[in-house]
Amino acid sequence: MFCFFGLAGCATPTPYQPSTDGYGYADEQIESNRYLVTFAGNAVTPLTVVQTYLLYRAAEITLASGHDWFVISSRDIDASTNYSGWVNTYPGAYAPFGGGYYGWGGGGGFGVGVGTVYATPSTRYTAQATIVVYSGQKPEDNVHAYDARDVITRLQPKVQLAPAAG
């Protein structure tokens, strides 16, 4: 099997970690009780994991800022798909293509005519939310309110931390 297909098999989902090389969580305080929170996963991180890590980070921020509960005031998910693979231009010759998250790119260009295109899509997800944090008892009648301690307790078993630096 060609190396570029082998690499996908070796990749692991983005762990829960501060953003490094564009993958992981990032946050910014934008008002005294309002934060912008982002989690970006790599091409093998499922959307459900990206969403879980975003919610977990929102709960951590809430507690770290001395508050008890939060509301997500806005949320957005971006999906970026890349196709990679090869083109069988004539018997015995294969030309790789792809690279970059811009759609079809580079590659091919030799031989006469195109026989078969072999493409594999991969999608990276980035979730972003604006949260507003509050102190005191979470209102029971607000279905958009999250108790930060309860979120941490329930989601912690699903959170895969980055390996410790060696």
Position 145 in a domain = yes
> For position 85, what pLDDT does the model report?
80
pLDDT of the residue at 107:
47
Domain contains 15: yes
Which of 26, 64, 21, 69 is closest to 43 using CA atoms? 21
What integer pLDDT is reported at residue 84 of this predicted model?
Answer: 82
- Domain of residue 15, residue span: 3-158
Q: How many domains does the chain have?
A: 1
- Flag whether 25 is in a domain: yes
What is the spatial distance between Cα 52 and Cα 99, in angstroms, rounded to a whole number? 28
User: What is the pTM for the complete model shown?
Assistant: 0.77
Which is it for strands 69-90 and 93-97: parallel, antiparallel or unpaired? antiparallel
Look at residue 34 in the predicted model and tell me its pLDDT: 98
Give the pLDDT of residue 154.
98
Whether residue 103 lies inside any domain: the answer is yes
Per-residue pLDDT of the chain (166 residues; tens, 9 = 90+): 333 444 445 689 999 999 988 999 999 999 999 999 999 999 999 999 999 999 999 999 999 999 999 999 999 999 999 888 876 665 555 555 555 443 344 444 444 445 677 788 889 999 999 999 999 999 999 999 999 999 999 999 999 998 877 6
Distance between CA atoms of residues 86 and 34, nearest Å: 47
122: Cβ contacts below 8 Å, ≥ 6 apart? 8, 43, 44, 81, 82, 84
Query: Would residue 166 count as lying in a domain?
Result: no
Report d(CA 2, CA 14) in Å as an integer.
24
And the tokens for 7?
A: 């690499």
HEC profile for the chain?
CCHHHHHHHHCCCCCECECECCEEEEEEEEECCEEEEEEECCCCCCHHHHHHHHHHHHHHHHHHCCCCEEEEEEEEEEEEEEEEEEEEEECCEEEEECCCCCCCCCCCCCCCCCCEEEEEEEEEEEEEEEEEEECCCCCCCCCCEEEHHHHHHHHHHHCCECCCCC
pLDDT given for residue 115 in this prediction: 63
Task: Please give the pLDDT value at position 96.
Answer: 58
Structural domain contains residue 165: no
